[in-house]
Structure 1
Amino acid sequence: MLNHYPLWKYIILILVLLLGCLYAIPNLYGEDPAIQVTGTHGRMINEALLIQIKNALTHEAVQSKSIIWQSGEILVRFMNNELQLKAREIIQKVVGQNYIVALNLVPATPHWLSYFAAKPMKLGLDLRGGVHFLIEVDTDLMMDKIQKQNIETLHTYFNKKNMPYVAINTNDQNRIILRFRDESTCKIAYQSLSSYSPDIVIHKNAYNCLTVDISTDKVYKVREDAVKQNIHILRNRVTQLGLADTLVKRQGDNFIIVELPGIQDTARAKEILSATAMLEFRLVHLQSNIYNSIPNDFDIKETPEGQAVILDRKAILTGNHITNSVANMDEYNQPQVNISLDNIGGNIMATFTKSHIGKVIATLLIEYRDSGKKDARGHSLLEKHEEIINIASIQSPFSNSFRVSGINNIKEARQLSLLLRSGALTAPIRITEERIIGPSMAVQNIKKGLDACIWGLVSSIVFMVLRYKIFGLIATCALLANLVLIVSIMSILPGVTLTMPGIAGIVLTLVVAVDANILINERIKEELRNGRFAQQAIYVGYKEAFSSILDANITTLIKVVILYTVGSGSIQGFAITTAIGIATSMFTSMVGTRAMINLIYGRKRIDRLSI
């Protein structure tokens, strides 16, 4: 038989289509406007707060679809955005400032589909709405920090060399000025420092002074490392906080782009980004009489509960030395965080804890926030905010590994573990631009994309049916199956996000699929005109058209691979959807249509075809 498929091929084809429909279905349900309530700095949410929120919404006649309390968070779903916005004000009054009340969008997929792990496609910022940030890395503060370290190094260097100097300080250009008593001492210092380090540049000035600058190579390396490290930390932080489909990438010399799809509340997004702060471990002083007169070597800091604590101004260790941290329960079923340090940090901790058993260590979170003021260059000035997030006693000496105990609850332990594990920012950041793409704009983008797909499909269907009759109708069924398979595969694959360029890729692949069917149908008509029998024309038409279709798809795939390799962001999204579409169109146009034609015309003596 020329045109015949065995039963197992039809079974496989049916299974593929059924699975495609199953995993494409979740995309029909859309998303619900929702409010997510979480605690700041690991603060737990209890059932009493859930009841308060329920009662408040009922009292104000705000109807919700569901209220779920799980994983230490409360998620409230609503029918529309109007109810969502009204409920946010009500809930914010109930929970106060100790909790984050964030607007969000959550899939409205029925619960039964979760048994099959069926989820909707991940949508990009232009289709789902969300927040776009342009973040500047403040490398100037990094340079200030390096110059302060250089001053301390120079102090130590001159003391070891027994070389007298009058003063070491910095000027307005952040240059170190070394002042000496006489010209001979200045000359000796200049000759000694000239070969001291390749990272500094020494200039001899009048009045027995030397100027110390950071070398150009060092400045470039510090700026590059600061931006790269901050990108890595920001990406880790938003990922570990459960925010999927985020975009964190570099732009220019000192800027980073962060996009958070699905988040409508800039306050929530800023809270996530500001969590990427610097950490320090400091010694706590417990003497009560010290409050009357605070020496210069101590600072007063506050806990989230407002308790004042006196800390040593000099940090024992910073978060730069932390390599890993894990939250779990200790032998007394109390929350703890196990911390691992690098070799340098381990040596520092071993030396300190050996001589300070019984003392108390505080973990200090340092954040740099926008002050609302501008400098002479128009850049936003940052304010330093410090808060104690944990206090624990030193029970025994430790080095590379130790545990932080005395934590209130397991969620606070997980939050602390996350902060430590993600690392400390190398340089402070400031948000220079923020843009909200609201759900209404996202809906409009989706509508335009769907309109393009629908009108493209309709026009192709009308042409194919009028031109090729039953064969055109079969090609139309294959076209619809192709669309379902594309959507289902994009829903299954992790890390694949649909954007507006992705929709353009889908439309393009549908056009390519139509081209394949046109090639097949025209070749069948040509074979009929050459005098072949109907069954032979079908067989030869598919066989001879295959090479042309394969060549066309391979050349398109080569372009797609180049686009994905060289491009980024939305360009990669276009490449991914196009590549998926190429694979599915080959399957539907060659296997799907052939199976239907074999069912209709196979094993029959026919004189003419409806083509």
Structure 2
Amino acid sequence: MNRYPVWKYAVIVIVLLVGLIYALPNFFGEAPAVQVSAAKSTVKVDAATQARVDEALKAAGLVPDMQTIDATSLRVRFTTTDDQLKARDVMQRALVPDPADPPYTVALNLVPRSPAWLAALHAYPMYLGLDLRGGVDFMLQVDMKGAIDKKAETFSSDLRSALRDKSIRGSAVNRNGQAIEVSFRDAASLEAARVLVTDQFPDLTPTTAQNGGDFKLTATIKPEAARRLQDAALKQNITTLHNRINELGVAEPVIQQQGLDRIVVQLPGVQDTAKAKDILGRTATLEMRMVDETAEGRAAETGSGPVPFGSEKFLDRTGRAVIVKKQVLVTGENLTDAQPGFDSQSNQPKVDLTMDAKGGRIMRDVSRDNYKKRMAMLIFEKGKGEVLTAPSINGELGNRFQISGSMNVVEANDLALLLRAGSLAAPMEIIQERTIGPSLGADNIKKGFDSVMYGFVAIMVFMCLYYALFGAFSSIALAVNLMLLVAILSMLQATLTLPGIAAMALAIGVAIDSNVLINERVREELRNGASPQAAIHAGYDRAWGTILDANVTTLIAGVALLAFGSGPIRGFAVVHCIGIVTSMFSAVFFSRGLVNLWYGRKKKLKSVSIGTVWRPKTDAAGTALAEAK
């Protein structure tokens, strides 16, 4: 009756083992480390970077505790802070020969002190939020009007070109705020322009008006197009901020939209506010120029001659010199999109570029005059330029053209990202700034940890006193619930904040409530005269429905918080929902396994240790009495 099959105990053992492995990293703390990240969009942190670091550390006699590398950074862990500081200087000299033009950012950091075997199993501790670790909190205001004005200017330029291509004569195309106005001399031209706008500019709403002999067309951006533009601007700004903040080496930064036109940036562990501001406000610009392919230019590329007058020398991503002319053909402002893809004929990776009307006209004229010549695309950061690519012009270009050739899929994706990244879709300004010191974060951690532990111990003492052995089983199940909650949060690499700790404390109360229901149900069955084995079986079975209903309704509230909340509310909701799921496993499945293991094999069980069971009885006169057992 009260026996689990072997497979259920196997499930319990596996869950406990996995939970223990993934909860363990949270108890090792953090160790000093040095982090290397790219300071330029065109620089990558890869195995070659790691080899240079290893060689420099070996020459300096420094032995790192552990190294980890990912797509954006290299982290080298050390045992002591002294080794960390020495290694920072050594790695700085090895990777940044010119401090005025640093290809890498070498910064001090903290990384988990987990053993290598846990890291090999991808068992990492939870991230700590801003309120627990300290750091910088920014609120940025996005200038949505500026984004729409910029788009209106693009529409104005495109409409001017479209009217010229269709030979529709009118006065100059003017932009009045977010509206585009064009005047015509006759109704036929006005109607032709209206049809053109309707067919080729789906995001514009054309309206016509006549005032005597003046025929006027006004095109305004549709409200849904404006909203779509604002959403796209916010998303692009958030993506750009993510790319920039990677340079700081922040573990799990929070970059999220707040309201319609604001972005919250939280950088846990960052105390240098000035550096954070510099990176957030950094601008990268894209320029397209012709390569100097004269004899003097080729000589300058090989280093056998000076750079010709009117040209400049830049390096590409491989370090090879490229001599380009100073005349800027188009800039990143003219580039509206860059997407990777595959050529339909050769099936080779390519990058599709889309220019605005002005850029398209320039590219058309340049390509006609420079057929089979090379055009360089340069990206400038902090005043330093670097050549992204320098393809040959193989045909007449326009608003849309492609870059293809000797590149693989990864290189095509990287090139498209670099061409798109750098500039913000809409201007931003910092309207609020807040710094939380590490001592305050440590104090918050201590208080939060103490609150959870004191609550856990108090509940455990009460359960053991009131329910005896069943209370001990419930306390063990509660500890398992807490361990599984921490393990799942670690597996998800969630960020723990103060509201998350509050949700943990709440999860303890919710979890023990299920055991209270079970224990009281077992007592009730014993009170009604059931045998101990039957009481245990009926207690768990009949309490399950109530437990399920209560947890599902609580889970619905948690999901609502998760779906509609933001920031700290979502952090609370995540821990709350996971805690409900783990409590159903620990309070019902696991605790019954303990009870079955203890009592299930006893065939002649006369009593169970579940505290005081009050049984009513009647005397000779029929008066109800109470008997304690």
Contact 2:379 2:388 in 1 (8 A): no
C-alpha distance in 1 between matches for 2:290 and 2:513 = 72
Contact 1:283 1:361 in 2 (8 A): yes
Per the normalisation by structure 1, the TM-score is 0.73
Distance 1:136 1:54, change over 3 A: farther
- Match of residue 482 from structure 1: 481
- Match of residue 551 from structure 2: 553
Q: Select the residue among 236, 241, 249 that pairs with 2:256.
A: 249
Q: Select the residue among 79, 94, 109 that pairs with 1:104.
A: 109
- Match of residue 419 from structure 1: 418
Distance 1:102 1:130, change over 3 A: farther
C-alpha distance in 1 between matches for 2:163 and 2:7 = 82
Contact 1:103 1:264 in 2 (8 A): no
List per-residue Cα deviations over 1:47-91 (Å, max 9, x = no partner): 556655676797xxxx96556788795533345778767875776
C-alpha distance in 2 between matches for 1:202 and 1:87 = 70
Q: Which SS does the other structure have where 1:248 is aligned?
A: strand
Contact 1:233 1:423 in 2 (8 A): no
Quote how far apart the aligned CAs of 1:310 are: 2.8
The aligned amino acid for 1:339 is K
The aligned amino acid for 1:446 is I
Q: Which SS does the other structure have where 1:365 is aligned?
A: strand
- Match of residue 403 from structure 1: 404
2:340 corresponds to 1:324 = yes
- Match of residue 303 from structure 2: none
Identity %: 36
Q: Which SS does the other structure have where 2:377 is aligned?
A: strand
Quote how far apart the aligned CAs of 1:25 are: 1.2
- Match of residue 617 from structure 2: none
Quote how far apart the aligned CAs of 1:258 are: 3.0
Distance 1:313 1:344, change over 3 A: closer
Deviates more, 1:25-34 or 1:463-472: 25-34
Distance 1:487 1:140, change over 3 A: same
C-alpha distance in 2 between matches for 1:203 and 1:515 = 72
Deviates more, 1:98-107 or 1:456-465: 98-107
- Match of residue 225 from structure 1: 229
C-alpha distance in 1 between matches for 2:503 and 2:210 = 63
Aligned residue pair count: 558
- Match of residue 445 from structure 2: 446
- Match of residue 181 from structure 1: none
C-alpha distance in 1 between matches for 2:456 and 2:187 = 78
List per-residue Cα deviations over 1:278-324 (Å, max 9, x = no partner): 645443455679x9997xxxx97976999984344332885433112
List per-residue Cα deviations over 1:140-184 (Å, max 9, x = no partner): 54425734763785598699566678xx9899x899999xxxxxx
- Match of residue 329 from structure 1: none
Contact 2:135 2:269 in 1 (8 A): yes
> Structure 2: 5+ residue runs without aligned partners?
198-203, 298-306, 343-347, 612-629
2:125 corresponds to 1:120 = yes
- Match of residue 259 from structure 1: 266
Deviates more, 1:392-401 or 1:552-561: 392-401
- Match of residue 379 from structure 2: 365
- Match of residue 310 from structure 1: 325
Q: Which SS does the other structure have where 1:37 is aligned?
A: strand
Contact 1:43 1:412 in 2 (8 A): no
List per-residue Cα deviations over 1:427-480 (Å, max 9, x = no partner): 344444444445444333322221121011011011111111111111111111
Q: Which SS does the other structure have where 1:102 is aligned?
A: strand
Quote how far apart the aligned CAs of 1:134 are: 2.5
Distance 1:561 1:414, change over 3 A: closer
Distance 1:484 1:175, change over 3 A: closer
Q: Select the residue among 560, 579, 582 that pairs with 2:580.
A: 582
Q: Select the residue among 126, 144, 152 that pairs with 1:146.
A: 152
C-alpha distance in 2 between matches for 1:156 and 1:524 = 82
Q: What does 1:7-406 align with in structure 2 at a 5 Å threshold? A: 7-39=6-38, 40-43=40-43, 45=49, 47=51, 51-52=55-56, 65=65, 74-78=74-78, 95=96, 96=99, 97-98=101-102, 99-139=104-144, 141-142=146-147, 143=149, 146-147=152-153, 150=156, 188=185, 215=220, 217=221, 221-222=225-226, 225-232=229-236, 234-235=238-239, 238=242, 245-261=252-268, 277=284, 279-285=286-292, 309-315=324-330, 318-324=334-340, 338-341=349-352, 356-365=370-379, 387-394=385-392, 396-397=394-395, 401-403=402-404
C-alpha distance in 2 between matches for 1:530 and 1:46 = 72
> Structure 1: 5+ residue runs without aligned partners?
179-185, 327-336, 370-384
Contact 1:137 1:430 in 2 (8 A): yes
Deviates more, 1:508-517 or 1:84-93: 84-93
The aligned amino acid for 1:506 is M
Q: Select the residue among 531, 534, 537 that pairs with 1:536.
A: 534
Per the normalisation by structure 2, the TM-score is 0.71
Q: Which SS does the other structure have where 1:32 is aligned?
A: strand
Deviates more, 1:519-528 or 1:466-475: 519-528
